[in-house]
Copies of this chain bind each other. A is one copy, B any other.
């Protein structure tokens, strides 16, 4: 498949005989249908791919292929294999855009291919891009990930993601173009509220003079921004990124954002434990989406054996843990 074809947005949010649903209802429906809250995080390192991906890449290459093109093919195949192995256990993929972007133009082609592959497997596509910019540039990023760009030669489609992560430092007017573009096509956004890294403390946990922390101020912003986007399941199309590594904040953040879907990264390699994430599921089983990246895709490095089988096993284990917790 070409990158251009892969990037063409589908009409997958339309259901026969019904209007497109909002993102909150879409997530609720998919979580219920797949009995999973697990998100397969794909952050491919082209120096650490599954051996099978390298075999398949070598076969498809000829001498004229550049290094970047070769590496981009390899990461696309690697991600495809991971989706094949573990996708059935998951409700979505989370694509770490940095890992594609570092291969330049062919890397962006691979991003489109992997998004298309995930969609074919029935998975929602979350672009973990952490973008944020002033209004006109935010609108350009929204075109890149959700919409299309008007050009002299006709519209050029973007990635066609279902959702993307956003950095809210620039304030409400920097988030609105993304929310508008997402809402228009039944997609959603996940705004960084409390990230999973140790440095999250440097800024996000600083107390404000008016009371509460910066994270809590962000949570209030998320709740306001999402108020118009709450669906029948009680979930909004404006969600929040809340690191699984700091579960002590979950309860407070849930109270501030009762209708937000929480995207919870940091399980596994970063030290987060699913067992600690119960508060995320207060609004129901779709209240939290648990992202596991290295924990699943590199499971064979701990368990030994075939990477695909190890990924499938670990994904099944995490899915089961989460489902029991949310029940």
Whether, in the assembled complex, A49 has its beta carbon less than 8 Å from a beta carbon of chain B, the answer is yes
What's the number of copies of this chain in the assembled complex?
2
CB of A196 within 8 Å of the partner chain: yes
Q: How far is the CA of A123 from the CA of B132 in the complex (A)?
A: 26
Given the known A-B contacts A130-B131, A203-B214, are A47 and B169 also in contact in the complex, defined by CB atoms under 8 Å? no
Structural contact, B207 and A210, CB atoms closer than 8 A: yes
CB-CB under 8 A from A133, the residues of chain B are: 96, 98, 130
Provide the bound-state CA to CA distance between A202 and B209, in Å: 14
Question: Which B residues are CB-close (under 8 A) to A167?
Answer: 130, 132, 167, 169
Do A151 and B47 touch (CB < 8 A)?
yes
Residues of B within 8 A of A102 (CB): 140-141, 143-144, 149, 156, 158
Are the C-beta atoms of B141 and A171 separated by less than 8 Å? no
Query: 1/0 contact trace for A212-255 toward B, CB 8 Å?
Result: 00100110010000000000000000000000000000000000
Min Cβ gap A114→B in Å is: 13
Residue of B nearest to A70 (CB): B153
The 8 Å CB contact of A43, one of B109, B137, B200, is: B137
Complex CA–CA separation, A70 to B149 (angstroms) = 13
Q: How far is the CB of A116 from chain B (nearest CB, A)?
A: 13
Within 8 A of B (CB), among A37-75: 43, 46-47, 49, 54, 57, 66-68, 70-71, 74
